[in-house]
A = this chain, B = another copy of it.
């Protein structure tokens, strides 16, 4: 069996995560047991949720254990199989982690899924046609429940989830306004992703200023919002939400480094009879097939052209992850293994 370069979490961050929290090792790959499959990873997904897992605190999932391979989504190819459902050469998506190979118990439901890469590049199964895409779908379809003609907003609009949200919302006849950091990202969101407008939050010193900018592009208010960020962006959006509007809460990235960030005007939840709901996409398995079908068609037909930021080599995964947390990526952040 081949040697398996891999990255372990070896200590927990006190504030921002650092390179010293990770260690690159090269260990033997164990021989396959019955019903197991050996997968060689082509791409590793980097996602904001990983920051939460690095902490040893109660969150929606157990923390990442120390001195073991960092969790992460992967796409790759089966190189050896002792499971009747998989054969060498199959393209697959799974949760292989930050490593070059993974040995997968393929009998466990949801561990490994075969994918068809005829019309969709394989890395997109980590983004637009993968977990981030389904995340956008669930928040939009199940929580916001949009109607054609409504105005929707999404923060981190140029990212993997935000860009999928835009494509799905446009397909339902909605106006979609993005919020992103920097002129380049906003240009991309408007011109390449086809959002109706995009606001650069970095141009605004506080949430009142950002809220004013939102008012200009949302003259009829906001009917639904998908929150990837929290903090100032959420406060600004709250001031523009309409009666009976909904907010799907998917991320609070700006609060991950230890300090909770308050919500400035929670009484608006009452004043506007809003619904504010948090969710984790992995808890809604029934949505995945229908969401992946729609997302695959949007990407395969060219209606939705997701962009990626690719880091090269497993050793560069930590650095790329730090960049992701600072918003340096452009679209979906992956690592070419």
Contacts and interface: CB of A to CB of B under 8 A. Distances in A.
A271 B265 contact: no
Given A60-B273, A273-B279, A273-B280, A266 B263 contact: yes
Contact of A272 (B263, B270, B276, B278): B278
| Copies of this chain | 2
A261 interface: yes
Contact of A278 (B58, B269, B277, B283): B269
Contacts of A60: 243, 270-273
Contacts of A31: none
A275 interface: yes
Nearest to A266: B263
Contacts of A271: 58-60, 278
Interface stretch (A6-14, A150-158, A186-194, A246-254): A246-254
A276 B277 contact: yes
A98 to B, nearest CB: 24
A88 interface: no
A267 B276 contact: no
A59 B269 CA distance: 11
B276 A276 contact: yes
Contacts of A274: 277-278
A260 interface: yes
Nearest to A60: B271
A85 interface: no
A152 to B, nearest CB: 19
Given A274-B277, A277-B275, A267 B243 contact: no
A259 to B, nearest CB: 10
A263 B264 CA distance: 7
A264 B273 contact: no
The list of the 4 closest CB pairs from A to B, nearest first, reads A270-B278, A262-B262, A252-B267, A263-B266
Given A252-B266, A270-B279, 16 more contacts: A59-B271, A60-B270, A234-B266, A251-B270, A260-B265, A261-B267, A262-B264, A263-B266, A269-B277, A269-B278, A270-B278, A273-B280, A273-B283, A274-B277, A275-B275, A275-B278
17 contacts: A60-B270, A60-B271, A60-B272, A230-B266, A230-B267, A251-B270, A260-B265, A261-B267, A262-B265, A266-B266, A269-B278, A270-B278, A270-B279, A273-B278, A274-B277, A275-B275, A275-B277
